[in-house]
Structure 1
Amino acid sequence: MRVLVAEDHRVLARTVAAGLRRQAMAVDVAHAGDQAERMCLLTAYDVLILDRDLPVMSGDEVCSRLRELVDPPRILMLTAAGELTDKVYGLTALGADDYLAKPFEFAELVARVRALSRRAPKPPPAVQCFGDITLDGTRREASVDGRPLELTPKEFAVLHLLLCAGGEPVPHDELVRTVWDEHLDPRTSAVRATVSRLRGKLGDPGLIAADKGAGYRLCD
């Protein structure tokens, strides 16, 4: 899942981003409204966590402008304006998909982000299987031939993306774009290293094939 956190409080933005990355999400950060809008025009984010009180361009304006897109991200307003009238205005007049007032519990934020991502068209099933591999996206659990796998967030996200592809190749660039974030140099060995560790944990290196020029895919 690709998430953009638009928050001008840099410590909070950094904390939220780090926490979401531990939940196997790819997270980018914007500190101003115009920057958030520009990033959403360039990248297909699943969810935008949007502060209403942003510099340069307010979160309200960002929300309204993004709603004009054919396929906008799901928008979760995360703001100190927590009165009922504020929530109603954000959800109706501005068109936000969800609204969470500060201060908030991080577990609730994660739950709301995941709920928003499930509203996207044709979401993958919660439990996915391919051969002996089973992945439960809701419980964040995976197993091979009934053996539980201890996966890092990045390994889990890579396996999830490969399962969604159903045996078709997933290009290297798509793995970088979906599992990592804008700061990863696509020339680094991060993807290759993560896939290598995942192969080892699956117990059979042949379960993930590398097709030169096409990417990685699961094998029966």
Structure 2
Amino acid sequence: MNNHSLYILVVEDQQSIAQNIANYMEAKGHILDFATQGDQGLALALTHHYDLVILDLNLPVMDGLEVCKQLREHAHHHVPIIMLTARDSIDDKITGFTLGADDYLTKPFSLAELEVRCFALSRRHLLQTNDTLIFDQLSIDRKKQQVTRAGHNLELHSMGYRILTILAEAYPQVVSRSKLSQKLWGDDPTESDALRSHIYQLRNILDKPFDYPMIKTLHGIGFVLNVKSDNN
């Protein structure tokens, strides 16, 4: 499924968990560094260019939330962070996300799922740091706010451009209608017909003249970018 290795920092004070992660991830070809204390993990994260940090919440000297907060304040680039915790309360998750965590896994977790989450985050991060997003026939130049498909310039309205960019940045994840509305209009509710109308107009320009649709509706769930080269 994936054939590239990741450079990962694991900040975890429980040796058995760190060892399990090491055994699984290194066997898959990933390169790992380890820290057992929060301050030590922060120092490593600030001096090395990791693809990802796997960060335990309960750490000696400096806890995971403080490490996350300090990393977001002092790092010169955004490094994706997956938080690990034995606590599964919604308050912990909200605090973690507020301080800058990108994802969250509750112990005990599947090592296979951890690897999948690592790939998804590193890929999303790579997309978000590039000025140009490219998916098969589709190219989105975020600096110039220009979109082309199969070499043709697409004249999108600003709302259509925003919808397409949101779907591209979330890819391969599905974006729910409510999440899309929230990103477009914030907390001000809008008629569901408004979103439907914008999606319809976007499809007329992005999909209609071409050989297959790039916006896929998952009924009752939301929307996802349909990239032909990823389909089996």
TM-score by length of structure 1 reads 0.54
Tell me how far 1:14 sits from its aligned partner: 1.3
**SS of residue paired to 1:113:** helix
Matches within 5 A, 1:39-78: 39-68=44-73, 69-78=75-84
Which of structures 1 and 2 has the larger relative contact order (alpha carbons within 8 angstroms, sep 6+)? 1
Instruction: Figure out how many residues of one structure are paired with residues of the other and give that number.
Output: 126
Pick the aligned partner of 1:87 from 78, 88, 93: 93
Tell me how far 1:77 sits from its aligned partner: 0.1
Structure of higher CA gyration radius: 2
RMSD of Structure 2 on Structure 1 (CA): 2.1
Tell me how far 1:121 sits from its aligned partner: 3.0
Shift >2 Å, 4+ stretches: 120-127
Q: 2:107 maps to which residue? A: 102
Pick the aligned partner of 1:7 from 6, 9, 12: 12
| Identity %, equivalent residues | 44
Question: Residues of 2 paired with 1:126 and 1:30: CA distance?
Answer: 37
Instruction: Kindly indicate whether the alpha-carbon contact (under 8 Å) linking 1:20 and 1:110 is maintained by their aligned counterparts in 2.
Output: yes
Instruction: Kindly indicate whether the alpha-carbon contact (under 8 Å) linking 1:5 and 1:13 is maintained by their aligned counterparts in 2.
Output: yes
Residue 31 in structure 1 maps to residue 44 in structure 2: no
Question: Residues of 2 paired with 1:72 and 1:53: CA distance?
Answer: 22
Question: Residues of 2 paired with 1:117 and 1:2: CA distance?
Answer: 10
Distance 1:126 1:52, change over 3 A: farther
- In structure 2, stretches of 5+ residues that fail to align are 1-5, 137-232
Q: Which amino acid aligns with 2:92?
A: D
Q: 2:199 maps to which residue? A: none
Distance 1:115 1:126, change over 3 A: farther
**SS of residue paired to 1:49:** strand
TM-score by length of structure 2 reads 0.51
Tell me how far 1:120 sits from its aligned partner: 2.3
**SS of residue paired to 1:96:** coil
- In structure 1, stretches of 5+ residues that fail to align are 128-220
Pick the aligned partner of 1:119 from 108, 111, 124: 124
Question: Residues of 2 paired with 1:31 and 1:125: CA distance?
Answer: 39
